[in-house]
Structure 1
């Protein structure tokens, strides 16, 4: 296979400065020859040098190139079809008969187009691309644009010339060559949409096709700008490091993020696929049509697409109640990371490619989306849409920085957007709003508010900022309505609330829209507790309350036992997302308790808490039950298995046996629960039985489920076998990380997994080549320790071993270890007293 660049004469560029050298980005590229055509002259370089550190190639000429002349640079070069899942790489797959084959795939974001062809590989240096591929006759070949010419040579190879792309950044160029089936549709606005799947699995592309064909016209209407390309291809790639990549007109996906098997795909996975398709297609406008000037402004791409994906799924699937899930999936995860001293602002200066890889994190995505959601709420839907259209229209096919976005939204809304939002994009962290209420008369309440930077450990912040915070308030008079909105733009403020009596409760940040924590006075909190018990408070407010309280607990501003007492008021809870928030908080507590002798007591506490909702839902889905109840059943039964609840484990085991012998298949939503029940206290025969199940399926999602469940085993010898399995050729490189992580987050495997990493760090470094996967592995391997000794050990190890692109991840994880240690030391006695009474 070869890539033949086509360079028409009208693409010649001007020489703007006198120079004897031309430097381009190139990595793992060997330039065989080069020619520079200037007017009627052709000049060859006298030498070519490469810089591995800077990932560049420099062409040197004998004479200075004349300023003002037009020039055309042509090169012949060769490169490596690598196994690194970046640049131009090969992706292994198996035919239906079991034969091993490879597809050629590109993944260029952030700085890997330079691994495929020499170029100026920066987002602001845009160009059009004319791509020609020469491929075997029986292979599917795709790129950003449709094929406009196809010829076949005498040796049977096909030569495909693709239409010229719009002007775009190098990181969005894409090529895929392999064997695929596809399903095709057309959006109502006339865009051809195809979803490419492994051969024989095209029906698994139908759900993504349905979403994509509906999303395109929705975004066209929402942004009031049409999708600018004639086609939209989505393709499932077997070996793929991220979840998906928004290449213009050819979006690539990990198989588990685009393929839906009606019998074997869980509801939570299907929901995730809808969000991912919505996210990547949003990028066709945010990122592709309008691109950030430099990676410092990455959040303009990722924060916006992460917000808009929820808009889209809410429009297509209102039954998902997706905005409630936004808080646990996006908002809370951002807050947890952003309160660390080793967090970073949304906008962060970056230089070397390894620094760029590190900011593809919960700050750029989740905090970005959460801040946009807060702004959307503050200026209102109509002005927000108007501002989006101004921004996209004004800057289409160009590059922007954050201030361009604020200017467009300000123009649309007449609200001082830049003044309100600059603190959120430029400052690290977020505020905690402390609030007290004083009754003035029977019908008037004075709120006393103050703000300071929230720190995970409760320490006084080194730099305490003043944010401009949009504050909203609701009361028991109208729980679902906003009683007052105002800006808290100084350290302290008093606000009068009318129509509030002495027995009324007051909720700050209703809907958990504002990106801040709230700390209530004791009296205000006591009035809110009954509203939680009787579910008078809306779900997002019940969720936000428990989430804030657990954060205060970690920071040492309230005791863990007090928060567990607050959880008692949630025993009547029926909402899936609220239970997700409780589960996330208890999972953090589980890490601490795993370092103590309290686990049996904690399991008793957990069983008592989750049992009523499990009894209500049962094991069987009811006809017409809500989407959220299906998700809740899976969550609650899984937790009860983790809490060693005997009858739930026995039922899960029985269902697993029926599944294995073909009597009754386990619904996809409950498989992880049943697999964990078998493996949790399982022996080698259970391990081998699960490996057999893994080998019997070719559905990536099912293999993923099984391999992660293996990490729940209690026998350290077997857990080591799980890691060996993860590192074998049976598990794809992008999946093996998550199998090792499943072992590392298991208290029984924590020390062993860390030792494995130390012993095999060079092998792992070579396998994952830095970037996202390695950072994710390191994070979960080390952040669940809880002693100063471990913090020092980890710090020493990473001082002697350099893993480029993981420095911030290591700092954050070490900080988390120390937080765990302080939390445990502070609360162990009161926690012991509380749990032993249970």
Structure 2
């Protein structure tokens, strides 16, 4: 689908520029509007009678300009704006004065009003309940990428960094927070019941990092080892839910300070849980805002997965305090510099804080694999993508900016080594502190620190769409092994047509005589090469991409793949390597390079796999094939295959936590029992029903890690009474994680009546606006029936849904309710709908959804018969795994 809404690159004129904003905001938490006034210190660089600024959805009451000479006490005329002209499409306002503004310093004062909206962007209202059940509202800002202009008239571009003096006028008894520490609080003259709260001046920073929160919160606090004051703000009555995030933050800030060799530059850092929040979190300098589930951990009832997720998100946002806030991207084209780096280092931080999480293996299964899947599409985009207008930025808050960005940084870190990498980061942060930088600036600093051709290597990864697949074969020559390696662009839809681009690829190689060590590293700089591995016996396997650090896929010759199968079975290959083999195979199958039936044969080698992360990846790839077969007559045979694959590890883990078992064992138990119950494994289903009954009737509370698989099993195989019970549980609990868990399992129901109830529930007052899309996605993602019903529901309710989420990344989630169909008819249906209902902030998501549907359709047509034959043949041998393909 052609993108018809792109607008040319837009920046503001340079004739007038700000140096400081003195901002006062007075939100009305009953009428849902706010009064604002701002004194802007400016420099007039060119004689002009007009000042052009960003402004949208605010009404300017008056604007005056005072020349610097008058500020200094000399006689000068204050100018009042004679014209206020809004350019709504461009989100600008032009202030016209009766005479030209003289060159030099001056002060622009603007009084205005705005709406405290319900769109979760700009300055908005967030609904919450007090412990006694009263409904109240907080006022919250969310300004990235370009919503500061709806809070104050300003120069809303990341490169225009200035200081801010913030004052909040708030009701007595309400907490007021901003980026900096509070410096004063006094009753407002002529405004009974209101207090004026002032804050210290911020460092020089971009407008999108400005933050304000007014509401009622509890908090816990502490200090880092280097003296930074840390507070975690929670809903009233839930201060104990903030202790885990506080622990993470107190460990994380000194870790980053040491790693970057740059002190945290503010006197405090606040982390606050917001009831209504459109994204996971936002890195506002000194006041980081989070969705409640991304920050709060109930010490009594939060799952292992929830604790790990909070640790990662806290690590991510605190990394931005340096990488993004202290040094900021020059323009949104370089968004990945913020997000890719923070995504990489959040794992480094969590690995430092919680080594038992084995978090880097999980990085491969989550971010690395996710990025490879997304970047294999024709409708992907380069890491560095031209952004003409900030309104287009929401399209690139995606797997490429975050996960591919993190993956190529991880690859570069491994290639140049940690010492050189840290030295380069320190150089970058100190050279550009309180300024802006581009991708090339980071490469130059890392090149200086390492002596490696960083810019030349990384340019191939950031400016080109996609990544390579390495085709590799080997031959034995005496005591040496010779590898023949050729690269070509990987295409999810098949072989690349035309002359393939090339990448500079750092290739790590391990061998069977020492599986856990990198035997050698080579840099592939052209289309193909021959690599000699000296002294390797003929009976030893060879594995490329040791540790799955390189951002590429590997297609082995049949003899090389056969040699690796025993190392999968006996787990002599490390987990990341076992994971990447089957992950590459499923992608190569989608591309038509290998048969999906052969992928299932190889998967049987993982029958006794002990590692959670490998199972997590297997689970995802099982789902990919399930999508193909869900409408076929062999789907029940496929379910039997999956049950046989998952049963041994399910038996080993059992239902009860074993004394001394690790964090990942609990997560693996959840994953395995979820799949077994979903696919009707009789012993699992019977036990799930028994435990659910005990839980509901109060005989024995379900452990929190067991709730999702139990709820899914009983919903999948239950009736309306089960849905009634689970919705009753939703209404009676005040545990945020439990509410979220229930919302995410409702789509497991198997009848059209129950699925429709779930969909209707998604738009009810009981579900927060931020969560509606996830309930719909739950219905779309768990059954053939639900997939069709969710897509119909989205289309039928598009006006309301688009009104809620217009201009946000949430529309992309709704688009993807249709992304797992597998027919050309459905692809044309999606195209027809969005041709008449355009979504400028999710155009790429529409294109990718249609491409994915067509990929599924082609894959099914190509491999459907082979899959059916394999599953039927397997049934005749009773699931015997002795014939595993090698």
TM-score, scaled relative to structure 1 = 0.98
**Residues 435-454 of structure 1 aligned to structure 2 (within 5 Å):** 435-441=472-478, 443-454=479-490
Q: Quick check: 1:6–1:132 contact (8 Å CA) kept in 2? A: no
Where 2:436 maps in the other structure, the secondary structure is: strand
Where 2:793 maps in the other structure, the secondary structure is: helix
Question: 2:857 corresponds to which residue?
Answer: 821
Change (3 A) 1:669 1:440: same
2:516 aligned to which of 472, 475, 480: 480
Question: 2:541 corresponds to which residue?
Answer: 505
The separation in 2 between residues aligned to 1:217 and 1:700, in whole angstroms, is 30
The separation in 1 between residues aligned to 2:514 and 2:562, in whole angstroms, is 19
Question: 2:683 corresponds to which residue?
Answer: 647
Q: Using the TM superposition, give the Cα deviation of residue 749 of structure 1 relative to its aligned residue in structure 2, in angstroms.
A: 1.2
Where 2:81 maps in the other structure, the secondary structure is: coil
Q: Using the TM superposition, give the Cα deviation of residue 4 of structure 1 relative to its aligned residue in structure 2, in angstroms.
A: 8.1
Question: 1:122 corresponds to which residue?
Answer: 157
Question: 2:47 corresponds to which residue?
Answer: 18
Q: Quick check: 2:146–2:391 contact (8 Å CA) kept in 1? A: no
1:267 aligned to which of 299, 304, 310: 304
Q: Deviations over 1:497-537 (max 9, x none)?
A: 11111111000001000000001111111111111111111
Question: 1:573 corresponds to which residue?
Answer: 609
The separation in 1 between residues aligned to 2:450 and 2:761, in whole angstroms, is 56
Q: Quick check: 2:469–2:489 contact (8 Å CA) kept in 1? A: yes
Q: Quick check: 1:517–1:548 contact (8 Å CA) kept in 2? A: yes
The separation in 1 between residues aligned to 2:707 and 2:499, in whole angstroms, is 48
The separation in 1 between residues aligned to 2:497 and 2:179, in whole angstroms, is 48
Question: 1:94 corresponds to which residue?
Answer: 129
Question: 1:43 corresponds to which residue?
Answer: 79
Q: Using the TM superposition, give the Cα deviation of residue 354 of structure 1 relative to its aligned residue in structure 2, in angstroms.
A: 3.2
Farther off after superposition, 14-23 or 646-655: 14-23
User: Is residue 2:599 matched to residue 1:599?
Assistant: no
Where 2:481 maps in the other structure, the secondary structure is: strand
The separation in 1 between residues aligned to 2:728 and 2:391, in whole angstroms, is 39
Question: 1:783 corresponds to which residue?
Answer: 819
Question: 2:243 corresponds to which residue?
Answer: 206
Farther off after superposition, 505-514 or 666-675: 666-675
Q: Quick check: 1:6–1:131 contact (8 Å CA) kept in 2? A: no
Q: Using the TM superposition, give the Cα deviation of residue 682 of structure 1 relative to its aligned residue in structure 2, in angstroms.
A: 2.1
Q: Using the TM superposition, give the Cα deviation of residue 460 of structure 1 relative to its aligned residue in structure 2, in angstroms.
A: 2.2
**Residues 167-566 of structure 1 aligned to structure 2 (within 5 Å):** 167-441=204-478, 443-461=479-497, 464-566=500-602
Where 1:449 maps in the other structure, the secondary structure is: strand
Q: Deviations over 1:234-261 (max 9, x none)?
A: 0000000100000000000001011001
The separation in 2 between residues aligned to 1:660 and 1:105, in whole angstroms, is 37
Where 1:44 maps in the other structure, the secondary structure is: strand
Q: Quick check: 2:380–2:466 contact (8 Å CA) kept in 1? A: yes
Question: 1:79 corresponds to which residue?
Answer: 114
Q: Deviations over 1:348-371 (max 9, x none)?
A: 011233310110000000000000
The separation in 2 between residues aligned to 1:167 and 1:129, in whole angstroms, is 8
Farther off after superposition, 788-797 or 170-179: 788-797
Q: Using the TM superposition, give the Cα deviation of residue 69 of structure 1 relative to its aligned residue in structure 2, in angstroms.
A: 2.4
Q: Using the TM superposition, give the Cα deviation of residue 774 of structure 1 relative to its aligned residue in structure 2, in angstroms.
A: 1.2
Where 2:784 maps in the other structure, the secondary structure is: coil
Q: Quick check: 1:133–1:161 contact (8 Å CA) kept in 2? A: yes
Q: Using the TM superposition, give the Cα deviation of residue 204 of structure 1 relative to its aligned residue in structure 2, in angstroms.
A: 0.2
Question: 1:136 corresponds to which residue?
Answer: 171
Farther off after superposition, 659-668 or 130-139: 659-668
Where 1:806 maps in the other structure, the secondary structure is: helix
How many pairs align?
A: 833
Q: Quick check: 1:468–1:490 contact (8 Å CA) kept in 2? A: yes
Change (3 A) 1:462 1:805: farther
The separation in 2 between residues aligned to 1:461 and 1:530, in whole angstroms, is 35
Where 2:507 maps in the other structure, the secondary structure is: strand
Q: Using the TM superposition, give the Cα deviation of residue 462 of structure 1 relative to its aligned residue in structure 2, in angstroms.
A: 5.0
Change (3 A) 1:698 1:463: farther
Q: Using the TM superposition, give the Cα deviation of residue 5 of structure 1 relative to its aligned residue in structure 2, in angstroms.
A: 7.4
Question: 2:30 corresponds to which residue?
Answer: none
Farther off after superposition, 791-800 or 214-223: 791-800
Question: 2:836 corresponds to which residue?
Answer: 800
The separation in 2 between residues aligned to 1:729 and 1:743, in whole angstroms, is 19
Q: Deviations over 1:57-80 (max 9, x none)?
A: 1111233333x3222111000011
Q: Quick check: 1:7–1:130 contact (8 Å CA) kept in 2? A: no
Q: Deviations over 1:187-227 (max 9, x none)?
A: 01000100000000000000000000110111101000110
Q: Using the TM superposition, give the Cα deviation of residue 559 of structure 1 relative to its aligned residue in structure 2, in angstroms.
A: 0.4
Q: Quick check: 1:263–1:668 contact (8 Å CA) kept in 2? A: no
User: Is residue 2:68 matched to residue 1:32?
Assistant: no
Q: Using the TM superposition, give the Cα deviation of residue 686 of structure 1 relative to its aligned residue in structure 2, in angstroms.
A: 1.3
The separation in 1 between residues aligned to 2:776 and 2:554, in whole angstroms, is 37
The separation in 1 between residues aligned to 2:390 and 2:813, in whole angstroms, is 17
The separation in 1 between residues aligned to 2:41 and 2:494, in whole angstroms, is 59
Q: Quick check: 1:453–1:461 contact (8 Å CA) kept in 2? A: no
The separation in 1 between residues aligned to 2:87 and 2:812, in whole angstroms, is 25
Question: 1:676 corresponds to which residue?
Answer: 712
Q: Quick check: 1:550–1:585 contact (8 Å CA) kept in 2? A: yes
Q: Which runs of 5+ in 1 are unaligned?
A: none
Where 2:202 maps in the other structure, the secondary structure is: coil
Q: Quick check: 2:334–2:439 contact (8 Å CA) kept in 1? A: yes
Q: Using the TM superposition, give the Cα deviation of residue 804 of structure 1 relative to its aligned residue in structure 2, in angstroms.
A: 1.9
Question: 1:761 corresponds to which residue?
Answer: 798
Q: Deviations over 1:117-169 (max 9, x none)?
A: 11111100011000001111111110000111111246232111100000000
The separation in 1 between residues aligned to 2:185 and 2:391, in whole angstroms, is 39
Q: Quick check: 2:35–2:112 contact (8 Å CA) kept in 1? A: no
The separation in 2 between residues aligned to 1:143 and 1:770, in whole angstroms, is 25
The separation in 1 between residues aligned to 2:489 and 2:47, in whole angstroms, is 51
Q: Quick check: 2:38–2:110 contact (8 Å CA) kept in 1? A: no
The separation in 2 between residues aligned to 1:237 and 1:325, in whole angstroms, is 28
Q: Quick check: 1:388–1:409 contact (8 Å CA) kept in 2? A: yes
Q: Quick check: 1:180–1:198 contact (8 Å CA) kept in 2? A: yes
Q: Using the TM superposition, give the Cα deviation of residue 649 of structure 1 relative to its aligned residue in structure 2, in angstroms.
A: 1.1
Farther off after superposition, 166-175 or 792-801: 792-801
The separation in 1 between residues aligned to 2:36 and 2:322, in whole angstroms, is 26
Q: Using the TM superposition, give the Cα deviation of residue 7 of structure 1 relative to its aligned residue in structure 2, in angstroms.
A: 6.9
The separation in 2 between residues aligned to 1:669 and 1:124, in whole angstroms, is 45
The separation in 1 between residues aligned to 2:362 and 2:735, in whole angstroms, is 27
Q: Using the TM superposition, give the Cα deviation of residue 461 of structure 1 relative to its aligned residue in structure 2, in angstroms.
A: 3.7
1:711 aligned to which of 723, 743, 747: 747
2:183 aligned to which of 112, 124, 148: 148
Q: Using the TM superposition, give the Cα deviation of residue 647 of structure 1 relative to its aligned residue in structure 2, in angstroms.
A: 1.2
TM-score, scaled relative to structure 2 = 0.93
Where 2:475 maps in the other structure, the secondary structure is: strand
Q: Using the TM superposition, give the Cα deviation of residue 418 of structure 1 relative to its aligned residue in structure 2, in angstroms.
A: 0.3
Q: Which runs of 5+ in 2 are unaligned?
A: 1-25, 28-33, 70-75, 876-886
Q: Deviations over 1:293-352 (max 9, x none)?
A: 000000000000000000000000000000000001100000000000000000001123
Change (3 A) 1:7 1:354: closer
